[in-house]
A and B are shown apart, each in its own frame.
Chain A
Amino acid sequence: DTEVTQTPKHLVMGMTNKKSLKCEQHMGHRAMYWYKQKAKKPPELMFVYSYEKLSINESVPSRFSPECPNSSLLNLHLHALQPEDSALYLCASSQGQNEKLFFGSGTQLSVL
């Protein structure tokens, strides 16, 4: 199994809603990532978890809250988002440092 599975594929939410994005991998990878991608732009790193501990937070606003319940799962909790947060949110995993990332298909998020 070389897949990273993300749910939901699409999400529309209002600025007062609370929602969560989910990501799962069964490759035994110990690093998991959240990236944000706007249209026609490259992916931008948000968070990195290594061995279930948050190791990198790229100064992401607190309305985005990551969670790593175990080595296979990664969540991104969303609260009070702004319309400019509309983007494709990508989850990825890797064996470790300086290793290729395996990406999921992403969640296309629209904030109204």
Chain B
Amino acid sequence: DIQMTQSPASLSASLGETVTIECRASEDIYSNLAWYQQKPGNSPQLLIYDANSLADGVPSRFSGSGSGTQYSLKINSLQSEDVASYFCQQYNNYHTFGAGTKLELK
């Protein structure tokens, strides 16, 4: 089974700041990686797929990059509505999610 190691587990940042969340896969997942945002009490929402493709309706301040086993999600110019938990997901071999990153405002 593919393991996904996500870091950091929590993150505190200021409005307007740029934040980066990382995921490392236990083997090459060939960019078969998605990122989700989840706000309390809600289901996850797709942000990024295929490692760097922006899902419909997602603001352009969100971007994804990476290849092989290393991937990252970047949020430029942090907004208050970005306070949420973020999860990575590999779909190269079934599905595995990262443990999540809780993003808070400083």
Is chain B found bound to chain A in the same assembly? no
A interface residue numbers (CB < 8 A to B): none
